[in-house]
Structure 1
Amino acid sequence: MVYGLFFGDSITYGEYDGVFGGWVDILKRYALQKFHEGNGDELILFNLGIGGETTEGLLRRMPVELSARNSADGNLVFISYGANDLAIKEGVQVVNREKFKENMIRAVQQAQQYSNDIYLVSILPIAKHIDGVVVSSGKLRSNEEVIAYNDILKGIAADYSLGYIDFHSALLEDKEILLSADGVHPNEKGYGMMAEIAIPIIEKYL
């Protein structure tokens, strides 16, 4: 029995998807269905997404979460952060690029103690109407920063020979119809597309 641990923020949690519960929950159901059909090994997926979390919060809880869900048969670890880190609030970036890179490397090193199968997940594009705009939460995000933070993630994935799931490229062209009204979270269609991209990855472990 292999465990899959999905660390992330509200997009991992599946916020704004009242139909499917987000991409990770779609994967959970898919893995369970395959197992019950007798089409593979049991893969138990844990949605460890917390709304609003940054890499600072991740580092505080990651060792506990990893040790509490450590399968003798192996673990997959997915790390999906950046959308909250890159936000600017009251003129200050929540977690700047240099600190974000440092935090992500520390997170990868923690994960490596429990897993040989680690995937970094790209940050999604944001909708045109909130690009560079301060929204009701007081946060400002820009696609320019999204690209810069994704470049950091790609670099870490290359340096540490990790998987990289590029949701950004997949959703970019049709982002205006794949994102919810807040311009940050996917809608059901967006989450569905993310799950379709991720299914071939988890199928390798079924």
Structure 2
Amino acid sequence: MKKIIYGLFFGDSITYGEYDGVFGGWVDILKRYALQQFHEGNGDELILFNLGIGGETTEGLLKRIPHELDARNSPDGNIVFLSYGANDLAVKEGIQMVNPEKFRNNIKKAVEYARRFSNEIYLVSILPFSQKIDGVVVSSGKKRINEDVVAYNQILKNIAAEDSLTYIDFYSAFLDDKEILLSADGVHPNEKGYGMMAEIAIPIIEKHL
């Protein structure tokens, strides 16, 4: 009997795939890949849900994760991806949206809830920002600093180590080539960047097929 496994991707606009008019972002590339593998008779059916919401922080995640997981719970198993931080660390009108301590607590709570549904939980790194917007207040009124990205990614790495989760390090993959992998806004990947993220994540998906 073939299993039906659900993959749930929680996150912000980068999970949603904003600014990628070609592929629809890294999660949508993975979704098509999993479907293709199934149709070709390779392994179990893996149904991926893109649950990214633009502008969301971990505060929003905590409000909806119980409902989303209750609504999409496969008896054959679930895999959960948590991809947050780019909005949490943003500073607006001098105040950080979600400070480091609160960010850590929120991720821990989300992991705790996800564990009721899944033994396979992945924490996704925050991407570096383009040099041109590092520490600059942009039109949305938000300011993002690359030093904060390093600090928040360290929080994610620590939680992954403490809770025996897998940390997906997109940050390191982007760092040297960020200016050619990010879109004009300096925050979201372009098609090339999203494609690279999908390539890194495909081996993870293949483990569950």
- Shorter-chain TM-score bucket reads over 0.9
Shift of the alpha carbon at 1:40? 1.4
Say if 2:86 is the partner of 1:105: no
Say which of 71, 76, 88 aligns to 1:68.
71
State how many pairs are aligned.
Answer: 206
TM-score (norm 1): 1.00
Say which of 23, 26, 32 aligns to 1:29.
32
Say which of 9, 13, 29 aligns to 1:10.
13
Distance 2:119 2:43 in 1: 20
Alignment of 1:1-206 (within 5 A): 1-206=4-209
TM-score (norm 2): 0.98
Distance 1:192 1:15 in 2: 13
Q: Which runs of 4+ in 1 moved over 3 A?
A: none
Q: Which runs of 5+ in 2 are unaligned?
A: none
SS for the counterpart of 2:73 is coil
- Matched residue type, 1:2: I
Q: Which runs of 5+ in 1 are unaligned?
A: none
Shift of the alpha carbon at 1:200? 0.1
- Matched residue type, 2:160: A
- Matched residue type, 2:57: T
SS for the counterpart of 2:89 is coil
